[in-house]
Amino acid sequence: METVAILVDGAFYRKQAPLLFGKKEPEDRADELVKYCNRHLEERGNYNKLYRIFYYDCRPSEKKFIHPLTGNPVDLGKSEMHDWMTRFLGELSNKRKVALRLGETLESEVGYLLKPTVVKKLCKKKMKFSQVKEGDFYLDIKQKGVDMRIGLDIASLAFKRLVSQVVLIAGDSDFVPAAKHARREGIDFVLDPLHRDIRPSLNEHIDGLSCRTGLPGQNQRDKLSVEYLGYDEDGDE
């Protein structure tokens, strides 16, 4: 039986979960996250022991600014996103064996950017700027300290030998040095990219890939198409 720590890159999970499981209320999303993590304890019909679920994210931004296209004022502190995120983090904090690791939002870099697919169309002259709509922008929020906290926790878990396996739910991020350290300490390091592709070179730094296709009691698609995940053929959103 393995003792398993599950580390979740929160921003990544929140982005992918609606694509995999549909949009949900914050309380339901928190329940879903815990259920999904617990599925990683299944191994050959047995259940491994959960050490803890570590969830890494930032509190919602409260910045006020002007939308670059419409010129309308935007107050993120009064947005639906702020309310959803506040309830979501509050619900997670009450879950047994879930630890929140919160970084900071870089308020100076919060703003709207054009979606990559729109930029590509504009550059290829397949679209005129006069055709750009408000929905062609997305909110870009930079986080500070999240990756560092993930790395420190992996190193601490490995150095103190608190677990025998680490499962990291994340995308293509800068976790390689921490993964190397954990493996040198004899920790089984598993990456769950939630059906996102990772660079082939990353495989040499992990002990395995493991994506759970759904939640107990739900029918999920085992193979997710590029279109279903919301990316074009070049991998852009």
Is residue 231 included in any domain, yes or no?
Answer: no
- Tell me: do 198 and 94 sit in the same domain: yes
Residue 224 pLDDT: 33
Residue 122 near residue 129, CB atoms below 8 Å? yes
- Tell me: do 59 and 131 sit in the same domain: no
pLDDT tens for the chain, residues 1 to 237: 889 999 999 999 999 999 999 999 999 999 999 999 999 998 766 688 999 999 999 999 888 888 888 888 888 889 899 999 999 999 999 999 999 999 887 766 777 888 999 999 999 989 998 899 988 988 887 777 888 899 999 999 999 999 999 999 998 767 888 899 999 999 999 999 998 888 777 778 899 888 765 544 444 433 332 222 333 333 343
- Tell me: do 169 and 122 sit in the same domain: no
Residue 5 pLDDT: 97
Residue 107 pLDDT: 66
- Tell me: do 30 and 90 sit in the same domain: yes
- Tell me: do 198 and 152 sit in the same domain: yes
Count of domains observed in the chain: 2
Is residue 127 included in any domain, yes or no?
Answer: yes
Is residue 111 included in any domain, yes or no?
Answer: yes
Residue 100 pLDDT: 97
Residue 229 pLDDT: 30
- Tell me: do 28 and 98 sit in the same domain: yes
Using alpha carbons, select from 28, 50, 30 the residue that is nearest to residue 39: 50
- Tell me: do 17 and 118 sit in the same domain: no
- Tell me: do 199 and 157 sit in the same domain: yes
- Tell me: do 91 and 38 sit in the same domain: yes
Range of the domain at 127: 107-140
Residue 103 pLDDT: 87
Is residue 217 included in any domain, yes or no?
Answer: no
- Tell me: do 119 and 164 sit in the same domain: no
Residue 53 pLDDT: 98
Is residue 58 included in any domain, yes or no?
Answer: yes
pTM, full prediction: 0.80
- The CATH number of the domain where 53 resides is what? 3.40.50.1010
Question: Scanning the structure block, which residue is given the tokens 């750009």?
Answer: 132
Residue 214 pLDDT: 52
Is residue 229 included in any domain, yes or no?
Answer: no
Is residue 54 included in any domain, yes or no?
Answer: yes
